[in-house]
Amino acid sequence: MIFSIIMACYNVEKYIDEAICSIINQTFNFRDNVEIILVDDGSVDSTAEICKKYVLEYPENIKYFYKTNGGQASARNFGIGHANGKYLNFLDADDKLTENTLENVYAFFEEHYDEIDLVAIPMYFFERKTGDHHLNYKFNETRVIDLEVDWWYPQLSASSAFFKNSIFDDFQFDTYLISSEDAIMVNKLLLNKKNYGIVKNGGLMYRKHVDENSTIDTALSDKRFYINRLDGFFLELIHYAIDEYGYVPKFIQYLIIYDIKWLLISDERFDVLNNEELDEFNKKTHQILSYIENGVIEKELEDDFYGVRKIIFSLKYGGYNISSDENDVVMSINDIVIDKLSKNKFCLDIIEINKNHLYISGFLKSFFTSGDVLINVLKKSGKSKQFFSPKLFNYINRKENVNLRSYINFDFEIPLDSNDSSEISILVKSKDSSSNFIHLPINFFNHARLSKTSYYSVWDDYLIVFKDNIFLITRYSFFKIFPMEVNILFNLIKSRPPFWTSALFFRFVYLLLLPFYRNKKIWMFMDRRDGADDNAEHLYKYCFNFNDGIKKYFTLSEDAHDFERLNSLKNVIPFYSIKQRILYLFADKIISSHPDEFVLNPFLGKNVQLYSGLINSGKIFLQHGVTKDNISSWLKKFDKNLVMLVTVSDLEAKSFLKYEYNYNPDVIKVLGFPRFDNLNNVSDKKQILIMPTWRRSVDELDENSIKKSLYFNKINSLFSNKKLIKLAEKHGYDIIIKPHPKIKEFIHLFDINDYVHVDVENSYQYLFNNSSLLITDYSSVAFDFAYNKKPIIYFQYADDYHFHESFFDYDTMGFGEVVSNENDLVDIIEEYLLNNCIMKEEYIKRVDKFYKFKDKNNCKRVYDSIKNLD
């Protein structure tokens, strides 16, 4: 045999077919030249049966061995003893090789046999993650690598390499390690010849598991991954090299710094290791780094995308120093410059005026912390100067490992003089010195209501102008705006950025209409671009005919399912129509059940910074569902900047103040959802409604990968449960599945019985009103259904939901039973069907306790509160 492919197999029934077939189907002659050695490391699934099936089909090429579980390294060592091939490879049983790999590796190995002991191939991710491995930069051409010269071309993986069989008389995989056992073996081998081959035509397809249960995925939560790895991999390799050469070659140094970088980027160790173990981890890392030259560290970190230089040099030399002069503030470790304040910039999320106050929010991202520097605002009015300290100055909401680059958030509130003009500057200086303040460049996010192109904005009777990195605040005058707008229009014509012609048109129309529309009250309502039937629609229907001096519009895409239904109402306009975009520029309130700019802003994706200064509408978030989980990483003030957020419960409202959303308390209103006013308990239909929510772990997977996910298999099993279907038929109940919008895209993959109806036509509210029993998992639809005091069962089959921090405890606060087993679920459903689907008394009490209002006046309260904002 030319090749022996050794595959350690442990509970890989879902994947091993693909792995074996990727060898059988090579362009290289399989039957004459290749053997596969399958080492079953104590599998308890059907791995053995699948392996034996291939042995029967290819008895001359495929061998199967069973051993008690001892780990991947022991299985590979076992396989080596039974390999007859000239060259060995250690393909993982859940990965696969591209079809031309063996052919190209063989040709190259034969040509360079005396020069090298191994040949490496590129690695490509598939399934949960796709694309190139970080080290694929090595494979620009097929050649022999001289590690004395190209020492920054490390090789860590045995799966993506082919070895001479003969070398394994002296080497084996280390069973002490739970990962990197191949990396240490490979690099001890490379220390012999200090060169290896790379073949760019071919590749290892490296599976990133949907359920994140591969060895490397799970290793981060294992203590052995840290201390054992420092000892058994890095220090062992260092001492091995010193024993061989008396020093540590640069390619070994680079390999270590490349690998240890990923270890330090992750925050997992802080959760896995106790304080004593963390101290040991840091001491051993310091010992390891003492063998790594600074030039090698800098080579690996020359881009430093993840910002790990500070922690690496801190662990090598100790803490950092801050020095300053009149021009700069410098952070250094052992005379190595880590950061200079002057190299950074301010990034602004919010710049607006409200009630005679200027609000500025943003952050400074750097290696400096809030303990190192002080950020102030300088306000100059006439001859007077005044410094303002931030209300907020810390790491809130943009969390990173504090040893890496940090976000220093700041939030300023600056009172304005009604008659005087002001100059506003954002300044920073060293906290522990008398150094001067430094002006840093200012950048604006797309959600900021200002940009370097659209550099002025109108707020009430004020005008903000951004010029020369300073904000000028003056009283509004159309005659001040006119020359600035003409200048912007000429610059658009001159520079012609993407989408400049549209910007030219809308800015010109804005300039013409501004004197007439500036003081008009315009409210724009919307739910989603592609649909309605949510809180915004219900509120709009309540108030659109009110004679209150406010022009109200509802917008959604003209091709949306709901557009024709709503077109009989007044002022329903197509999203992205010319009229809608013009009105959006003048709207003072955007009222929606979704707060994201990519949903609301028709200019986003069309070079929105060409329009930023024209948009100053306040966003009212009616919510899409009750917020029971901590979603502050998404709904934070900095990029949503809501002026009002509607809730249904005091507990819900308190959660927005408990977690780090950063909204002022007066933004959070307990008013009740407008759509709740139209919830009614209709009893003339007998329906079981099934509505599971989405899982982020399934995002962006292809259909084949989705079908392998735990989520799909559990939901599919429920959808097709024969006992449930028989129960429904017996008691005269229909089974309705209302798929989550993301589930709708692949609903065809499910095994749905003809008795079960998938409803994509009827509104949520219609189904809530007409159904008798709801089966969900974590979806907030349960709050709508419970409002009608109809029974709910939470089917939570596993702890796979993407939110884990919540004020809402399902066991003590939920509106129905919580079950994890499908059989138990069906038993409880039967219990409810026998009782005519009456909600149990304990859950009725929970409903009454949770909702603040049940008087059907939610629309009125919300409408009045929005009016009172002015």
Q: Which neighbouring-strand residues pair with 806?
A: 629
Rounded to whole angstroms, how far apart are CA atoms 474 and 467? 13
* Residue in 641, 643, 647 with CA at minimum distance from that of residue 627: 647
Read off the pLDDT of residues 515-538 as tens digits, 9 standing for 90 and up: 999 989 999 999 999 989 899 999
pLDDT tops 80 at residue 403: no
Range in 130-134, 174-178, 583-587 the model is least confident about: 174-178
* Residue in 789, 824, 832, 595 with CA at minimum distance from that of residue 718: 824
Q: Which neighbouring-strand residues pair with 793?
A: 775, 817
Rounded to whole angstroms, how far apart are CA atoms 352 and 336? 40
Residue entry with tokens 């699948």: 50
Read off the pLDDT of residues 466-487 as tens digits, 9 standing for 90 and up: 999 999 999 999 999 999 999 9
Q: Which neighbouring-strand residues pair with 427?
A: 376, 439
Q: Strand 195-198 vs strand 143-146: parallel, antiparallel, or unpaired?
A: antiparallel
- String of DSSP letters for 296-315: HHHHHTSS-TT--HHHHHHH
Q: What is the mean pLDDT of residues 713-731?
A: 94
Rounded to whole angstroms, how far apart are CA atoms 510 and 498? 20
Residue entry with tokens 């059989």: 823
Rounded to whole angstroms, how far apart are CA atoms 756 and 115? 66
pLDDT at 178: 63
Average pLDDT, the chain: 92
Read off the pLDDT of residues 62-108 as tens digits, 9 standing for 90 and up: 999 999 998 899 999 999 999 999 999 999 999 999 999 999 999 99
Say which amino acid occupies 791. Answer: P
pLDDT band for position 460 (50/70/90)? confident
Chain centre to alpha carbon of residue 33: 45
Q: Is-contact 686 770, C-beta < 8 A? A: no
pLDDT at 66: 96
Rounded to whole angstroms, how far apart are CA atoms 505 and 501? 6
Angle at 463 between CA 458 and CA 469, to 5 degrees: 110
Helix (H) or strand (E) holding 87: strand 87-89
Residue entry with tokens 């052992």: 334
Q: What is the mean pLDDT of residues 575-599?
A: 97
Domains annotated for the chain, with CATH where assigned, are 3-218 (3.90.550.10), 220-251+260-319 (no CATH), 345-476 (2.60.40.10), 524-672 (3.40.50.11820), 679-850 (3.40.50.12580)
Percent pLDDT > 90 in the chain is: 77
Rounded to whole angstroms, how far apart are CA atoms 229 and 288? 12
- String of DSSP letters for 642-705: EEEEEES-HHHHHHHHHTTT---GGGEEE---GGGGG-----S--EEEE-----GGGTT--HHH
Q: Is-contact 349 397, C-beta < 8 A? A: no
Which ranges constitute the DSSP H helices of 387-449? none
Tokens of 124: 């490509």
pLDDT at 177: 66
764 or 623, greater pLDDT: 623
Read off the pLDDT of residues 798-853 as tens digits, 9 standing for 90 and up: 888 877 789 999 999 999 999 999 999 999 999 999 999 999 999 999 999 999 99
> What are the residues whose beta carbons fall under 8 Å from the beta carbon of 751, sequence distance 6 or more?
716, 719, 720
Read off the pLDDT of residues 670-707 as tens digits, 9 standing for 90 and up: 999 999 999 987 766 899 999 999 888 787 777 888 88
User: Taking the CA of residue 478 as centre, how many other CA atoms within 13 Å lie in the half-sphere pointing to its CB?
Assistant: 10
Rounded to whole angstroms, how far apart are CA atoms 838 and 844? 10
266 or 582, greater pLDDT: 582
Map residue 589 onto helix, strand or coil: strand
Read off the pLDDT of residues 382-398 as tens digits, 9 standing for 90 and up: 889 999 999 876 644 44
| Predicted model pTM | 0.83
Rounded to whole angstroms, how far apart are CA atoms 295 and 292? 8
pLDDT tops 90 at residue 61: yes
DSSP symbol at 166 = G
Residue 220, judged by CB atoms within 10 A of its CB (0-12, 13-18, 19+), counts as middle
